[in-house]
Structure 1
């Protein structure tokens, strides 16, 4: 598959193979095969985000597939967070910037179907986030530690976004991509779980105080204290969810998906439940 470098020049990479099929009945399989080919070359050649890929007509010509199959392949790659489509005179198909939130989107349906309770998520957080705080205290630079302290001093605004920002910043300071992923995914899920929750001032104050304790321990380079402070914060959150009777509720409840049904499609759902 000829690829474009970030400066817009085509490379001499091998074109995609032909996946021509005899009938539309094989379209899903053909599209999946083409998507697999393109994915392999994006990752195997290490194409940088923003790299332009062959256009739709070029992919049709190279693969021998019809427009519908090629478009389905591109949609599959979009859903996987590997490509982005840009419109306009400078548009086309481009390698996407890595987006860690796509991981939570992928796991959310599994959690709904399995009815995984919120208790599973709070237990998971206690296993992952305290060590992340301890690691951040040990290895983060003075400049990064100060940025975390400023974030804690700013305090939490209404809603869950500032809570997420603080915890994700702690994970960033741990300087371990896998650990950062392990922290970010549950927070993306919690953001949706709690987006309709009314948070009173006492809860915000409690979170602010906990964040300051964690940040000060990290700034001091005290790994053990940072670990304990994070654990105490997470246990307080778990206790609050327990008092509210939410720990046995699903992490991603069924009704959450119904909120996302586009307006005008309600009649399609008739008789589905």
Structure 2
């Protein structure tokens, strides 16, 4: 009987499966916090631990690097360095997804108008709001007052007022989702502010004062714990300020990949 020689699967496929398995295990360790932020163990140590070849481990590291979880450096101070994912990396990924799906800026504005006021309501319900939320909001208002008349810088400072009550909302999932959306919006709004200032059409100081008036009203309502009214005022404030940006870029696709947008994402704190 003639023996049939069956083709063997390419080594590359086997190697890829090994690399994916290693990447999955390292990914879990990074997300669980098994490794502190900083360098991964040396590659030689990982090769011994997993009992694999150097190429398989390097392919696993390339997978994690493509996901943004690590950066591989070469040279004397080389190695793999961990970047645990946070809200800013979520914002960047979301921005890219929105751009890839051709989401328009006005669509993003509508989502924020629905969700951001819920964060303000959450802050008004916090029992410790007078010690945590209110001082942070008041500090931002003071900084915004100092920036009055300073064009795009006023937008940069006053926008972070919204970041405060989003960051201090009680629900972690709501915080992550809305903070990411707000970050993407802020990058679009800053582009508007820079353009308006360059053309000498940035809103005058009276309009800037109107923004601060709304911020003070929201802060007072948060301090009183008036959940329903703070949500209403926060929604009205967004409805009054968003159209300025939307007139400039409302029909444009979200920008998350230009040099300006990338600088914005890198500057997220």
TM over 0.5: yes
The aligned residue for residue 187 of structure 2 is 192
5 Å-filtered alignment, 1:131-146, equals 131-139=118-126, 140-144=128-132, 145-146=134-135
| Alpha-carbon distance between aligned partners in 2 of 1:100 and 1:204, rounded to the nearest angstrom | 29
Whether the 8 Å CA contact 2:141–2:161 is kept in 1: the answer is yes
| Alpha-carbon distance between aligned partners in 2 of 1:194 and 1:26, rounded to the nearest angstrom | 48
| Alpha-carbon distance between aligned partners in 2 of 1:183 and 1:148, rounded to the nearest angstrom | 18
| 2:254 equivalent to 1:251 | yes
Two-structure CA RMSD over aligned residues (Å): 3.4
Structure 1 residues 75 and 193: CA distance shift in structure 2, 3 A? farther
The aligned residue for residue 36 of structure 1 is 24
The aligned residue for residue 60 of structure 2 is 73
Counterpart secondary structure, 1:59: helix
Whether the 8 Å CA contact 1:49–1:96 is kept in 2: the answer is no
Note the alpha carbon deviations across 1:37-58, whole angstroms, 9 max, x for none.
2112344x55264376432112
| Alpha-carbon distance between aligned partners in 2 of 1:228 and 1:154, rounded to the nearest angstrom | 25
| Alpha-carbon distance between aligned partners in 2 of 1:101 and 1:134, rounded to the nearest angstrom | 23
| 2:228 equivalent to 1:224 | yes
TM-score, normalising length from structure 2? 0.72
| Alpha-carbon distance between aligned partners in 2 of 1:36 and 1:207, rounded to the nearest angstrom | 48
The aligned residue for residue 266 of structure 2 is none
- Structure 1: state its 5+ residue gaps: 1-20, 262-273
| Alpha-carbon distance between aligned partners in 1 of 2:211 and 2:59, rounded to the nearest angstrom | 45
Whether the 8 Å CA contact 2:167–2:179 is kept in 1: the answer is no
The aligned residue for residue 155 of structure 1 is 144
TM-score, normalising length from structure 1? 0.71
**How far is 1:142 from its partner?**
1.2
**How far is 1:97 from its partner?**
4.5
The structure with the larger Rg is 2
- Structure 2: state its 5+ residue gaps: 1-8, 197-201, 263-269
Whether the 8 Å CA contact 2:140–2:158 is kept in 1: the answer is no
Equivalences, count? 237
The aligned residue for residue 122 of structure 1 is 109
Note the alpha carbon deviations across 1:74-102, whole angstroms, 9 max, x for none.
34334545446689999855654442111
| Alpha-carbon distance between aligned partners in 1 of 2:187 and 2:238, rounded to the nearest angstrom | 18
Identify the structure with the greater helix proportion. 2
| Alpha-carbon distance between aligned partners in 1 of 2:189 and 2:107, rounded to the nearest angstrom | 16
The aligned residue for residue 18 of structure 1 is none
| 2:202 equivalent to 1:213 | no
| Alpha-carbon distance between aligned partners in 1 of 2:15 and 2:255, rounded to the nearest angstrom | 32
| 2:43 equivalent to 1:56 | yes
| Alpha-carbon distance between aligned partners in 1 of 2:252 and 2:159, rounded to the nearest angstrom | 21
Structure 1 residues 164 and 24: CA distance shift in structure 2, 3 A? farther
| Alpha-carbon distance between aligned partners in 2 of 1:89 and 1:141, rounded to the nearest angstrom | 50
**How far is 1:122 from its partner?**
0.8
Whether the 8 Å CA contact 1:152–1:215 is kept in 2: the answer is no
| Alpha-carbon distance between aligned partners in 2 of 1:127 and 1:260, rounded to the nearest angstrom | 24
